[in-house]
Amino acid sequence: MVIFHKASELQKNLSSSATSIGLVPTMGGLHIGHISLIQKAIKDNMRVIVSIYVNPTQFNQSEDLENYPMNIEKDLKILMPFKNNLILYIPNHQEIYPTGISSKKYDFGSLSVHMEGKVRPGHFDGVATIVEALFKKIKPDKAYFGEKDFQQLQIVRALNKMLNLGIEIIGCTTIRTSDGLALSSRNSLLSSKQIDNAKVVYEALKYINTKVSDWSIKEMKYYFKSKVEAHEDFKLEYFYVVNQCDLVPVSFLDPKKEYRVFIAVFAGKTRLIDNIKLFRI
């Protein structure tokens, strides 16, 4: 598997005949969700680049950064079946932040105000900083992101438009365990009991979707909170129903608009985030 630590060397390796370059940005801790993005990228492109970089500026707490599950040897083993189809880009801090580790400031309007933007100030500035760096260094034709981080996906789309980069941003369906838990690198920090109990998150979200025509948003939140917090050491951080286009929370549903439910739950010290599109049944 070809690995580059500098984008300048990576660019020299890219054939001028590569009519389509796909990028899958990751922070490592790879799992089946990442693999699904990679498989989609391989199907769509002549060359696929997977980046692995744990970006410090998108972490709000040093403890969260320190506890992030990093294991590059394990990641490389997971990627081995695709070794003939991938180029790995594994930069260091100096490569990404040559003048010092700090994020740029962006204005994404309502997209970055609520949910993760509210509880993690500066998070999306950090996300946008690393994504902008990757996009400009690698110059992909297409980039792949999971819908589990739907707010991040919308931020990336806005960034791409803001900078007029012309990259096709492809959102891919959230990959879940058989119990419905959205796959995340941080799931490795959960105990076996927490993993078992975490299935309540998706179960409750699915049930809420069956009650869209009957329940108010307050009733949806009350139900979700009571189901989740019935489990020991599970605590709801937020529950929002938002307009899908601008990610602004709403207090009632307009039948002409599309909505998503966004949630964040603490399982002990580990945060679980998820979202689903609301369908009128």
The CATH number that domain 185-274 falls under is: 3.30.1300.10
Q: For the chain, which residues score pLDDT lower than 50?
A: 281
- pLDDT tens-digit map of 48-81: 999 999 999 999 888 888 889 889 999 999 999 9
Specify the pLDDT at position 13: 85
**What residue spans define the domains of the chain?**
2-172, 185-274
Specify the pLDDT at position 281: 44
Which of these is catalytic: 31, 34, 93, 231? 34
H/E segment holding residue 108: none
Closest to 233 measured CA to CA, from 205, 199, 197: 197
Do 2-172 and 185-274 share a fold?
no
Q: Is 34 a catalytic residue?
A: yes
Q: Measure CA of the first residue to CA of the last residue in the chain; give whole Å.
A: 48
Q: Which two tokens stand for residue 122?
A: 């500066």
Is the CATH code 3.40.50.620 the one for domain 2-172?
yes
Specify the pLDDT at position 280: 60
As a whole number of angstroms, the distance between CA 97 and CA 155 comes to 21
Specify the pLDDT at position 17: 62
